[in-house]
Amino acid sequence: MSVPVVNLGGQYNHLICRILTELGVESELLSPDLTLQDLRKKGAMGLVLGGSPRSMPEDLKSLGNLPTIIYDIKIPVLGICLGHQFLGVSFGGVVQRALRPEFGPARIYVDAEDDILEGMGRSFVAWLSHNDELVRLPDELEALAHSRNCRIQAVKHRARPIYGVQFHPEVVHTRGGDQVFRNFLKVCRGRRPRFGSLPYS
């Protein structure tokens, strides 16, 4: 089972690969210039979009093929930090400069567990590092969690296995962060991957 990580330039992206490997799946860093064919050749069962110091939507064009292929990816996707913001913008949401940027630990309050936050409890402490935030949700996404300074800390797509978290579950400062990846892998294992109209075989 392969779950690659798209390297968007964040300092923690290599940690995501390491955690996924420790959880029993193959993982590697990929360029944002990846294609659906690349994912099919690798037998990808899921895809993680890592963090980055870039800003949305100003740097959308710097994300290679992602803005184009995200609509056709039928495998589960987890966006982290900038990856979370990218998903919001891609489906029609609004990302703006945060009124209160979050750097360091903050308490995340779970409004709805869904698949991705299952087992995280009603609240938990997580590590955050962002100047921008998703401030308006598109119709296709719904919010799952918030913090004192950011009302959209986690999202899910209403019809597809797509999730986003503003916090960093990959760092040790996020309590129980591994559980987010365990939950995501559970979703990945429960689905047959499809790329556009072509089934993976």
Q: Is 100 helix (H, G, I), strand (E, B) or coil?
A: strand
End-to-end CA distance of the chain: 13
Report for 82-86, 141-145, 149-153, 195-199: range of highest mean pLDDT: 141-145
Tell me whether residue 117 is in a domain.
yes
Whether residue 168 lies in the annotated active site: yes
Tell me whether residue 200 is in a domain.
no
pLDDT surpasses 50 at 199? no
What is the CATH number for 181?
Answer: 3.40.50.880
pLDDT surpasses 60 at 181? yes
Tell me whether residue 44 is in a domain.
yes
Average pLDDT over residues 121-131: 90
pTM of the model: 0.90
Catalytic residue among 102, 130, 170, 188: 170
Sign of CA dihedral 113, 116, 120, 126: negative
Domain count, the chain: 1
Whether residue 130 lies in the annotated active site: no
Residue type, 123: S
For residue 71, give its domain range.
5-195
Whether residue 81 lies in the annotated active site: yes
Catalytic residue among 81, 130, 133, 150: 81
